[in-house]
Every structure is written in C-alpha cells, then in structure tokens.
Amino acid sequence: MSWFLFALICVIGWGCADLFYKKGSDESDKYSHLKIAVWVGLVMGVCSFILMPFAESKMGIGTLVSNAVKYTPASISYIVSMVIGYAGLRYLELSIVSPIQNASGAMSAICMLIFFIVTGRITDIGEEFSTLSWVGVAFIVVGVMALAIVEKKLSAAEEAKVEKKYKYGALALLFPLMYCLFDTIGTAADGIILDEETGLGLGEIDVMVLYGLTFLLAGIVSYIFLWIKTGKPYNPFAKSEWFKGIAACCEEFGQMFYVYAMAKEPVLAAPMVASYCIISVILSRIFVKEKLKASQYACVASVIIGIVILGIVDGLAEM
C-alpha cells in the first residue's frame, strides 16, 4: 500500500476521532481532558501489548529502554499536545479550534526539510518530489490555514452574540497554539525517526508499541490524579463516557496508518494527515447538523483538491 493511501486512511480515522472528542468533551467538567487521556491510554496500551510480538526488534527490557529513549522526544511532545488539545475543547467557542492546531503539519514539514538540508538529503528529496506534489501540498496547507482564519472570525462573531461562559478569551488562544507547537515537534521527530534513509532504526510497529506504552503510562497517571482529586475512581466504561472510548479507538486506528505514511514520505504525509480537521468539519455538518458558510466550503474544496493532486501524483509514480 502506498504512502498516500496510508495517509488518507489516517485522515479519515483522525477526522472521526476529532468529532467524537468534541462530542465527548464536557465544558462543565474541568477534568474532561484527563478522562479522555485515560481512555486513549487504555486503548493504546492494549494495542501495544497485542502488537509487541510483531515488533521488528525483540522487546526485552534493555531494548525497550533503549528504544524508549530514542522515541522520547516524539512521544512526550505528542502526549503533551494531545492533552492540551483535549483541554482546549472545553473552550472551543472561544478558540481558533482544530484547524489552527493542524498548522503543525506545514510547520513540521518545514522542520523536516531543514533537517534534510543539514544532513545533505535535500537533493534526493528534490529529485523525488515533482512540482505537482508541491502544488498539492500548497492547496492543503492554504485550505487548512484559511479554515483556521474563517473559524476564528465565526467564533468571534458568535462570542459577541452570547454571554461568555468563561473568562478565558485570550487564554483560550493558548490551547491551540501550544498544541501546534508540541505537535510540530512530535511530527517532525516522527518523520526523522521513521525516515527509511536517516531514521534511528525503529520500525513502524516498534514506534506504535513505544507510543502506546508511553500513553498508557500517561493514562495511568491521569487516572490516579482523578481518583485523588475527586475522591472516587473514574469509571471509563460508564455510558456517558462512550464517546471518549470511540474517539480513542478512532485515534489508534489512524495512528496505525500514520506511522507507515510518515515512514515512506514524511515531508508530504505530514501536511496531508494534518488535514483531518476537514473530515471533522464535514462530519459535523452531516451528523451534528452544523451549518457551513460558503467560505468554509471553499476551504474544504481547497484541501480536497490538494489531496486529489497528491493521489494523482502517487498513482503516476506507481505506474
């Protein structure tokens, strides 16, 4: 399967996860983000133990520790960005929402390009990617960034109409910006670690196992913190928490295809997988009945055009 199909499946999986994250977030629950972290840690931890026998390197204690150290920059950055993103969902009406978070896709691609320039691989990349590839990436990046601007304007207009539920107007902006920063670090680190030419020798399954185990630890810490703060154990299997569980499953589903896309074409895959916010917008229109403006449709169209162009490029390369 080509990198493009891996990335496309990842986009669909994470787009669905984004929708269920929103539905599972409770603006009145200040621990909502930690409860999501518990669910994601649980799902990723279970998948890690299932995948462990299939890892390319034998996961003995010494190897596990060594590989975990190699993957620490990416895993910690991802976990911090995701928990920040979960927290930001409580202030969604006051923030720039997920599209500005996903600017990390373009930023991480730039970081990876800088790394490949330093390591002398930029010539190979220039020969590998056609002009049409960069045109496709441009359509995606412009669409995602334009959607961020549109969403910000719509959010500001809505805020002016209703009474503020929170007094975090300016601070709410920090959530997507911090998410973008840490996700950029994580995605760029993933692209460098998984790259088949200059990677650190970690296979795709190894990365999924390490990331899952790290998030399992974060989930356990979140569970203990919730127990201490609330005085009672959190029940993730309660009916009210099902949306969080569905989101976690969609997250892991997308993660499985993400690592393969990043291993094959990190520079092109990073901006494309960041466009999953477009899927969330479309699903919100279908299932939540949110009305979209013409400007939002234009942004969605731009991203779809970019994805189609990359699909054509990938198809031509396979011929």
Minimal CA–CA distance to 88: which of 152, 157, 32? Answer: 32
Q: Residue 216 has which token pair? A: 């399992």
Residues whose CB is less than 8 angstroms from the CB of residue 289 and which lie 6 or more positions away in sequence, other chains included? none
C-alpha distances out from residue 207 to 27, 77, 191, 276, Å = 33, 14, 12, 21
pTM above 0.95, yes or no: no
Q: Give the closest residue to 12 by CA, choosing from 213, 233, 279, 201.
A: 279
Per-residue pLDDT of the chain (319 residues; tens, 9 = 90+): 688 999 999 999 998 998 888 888 877 788 888 999 999 999 999 999 999 888 766 556 666 667 777 777 788 888 888 887 777 666 554 334 555 566 666 677 777 767 767 766 655 555 566 778 888 888 887 887 787 777 667 666 655 554 444 444 445 556 666 777 787 788 877 777 776 555 566 778 888 988 898 899 999 999 999 999 999 999 999 999 999 999 999 999 999 999 998 888 877 888 888 788 778 778 877 776 667 778 878 888 888 898 888 888 777 666 5
The backbone torsions φ and ψ at residue 291, rounded to the nearest 5 degrees and listed phi first, read -85, 130
Name 13's Cβ contacts closer than 8 Å, sequence gap at least 6.
250, 251, 253, 254, 255, 257, 276
Cα 78 to Cα 13, 120, 212, distances in angstroms: 17, 27, 11
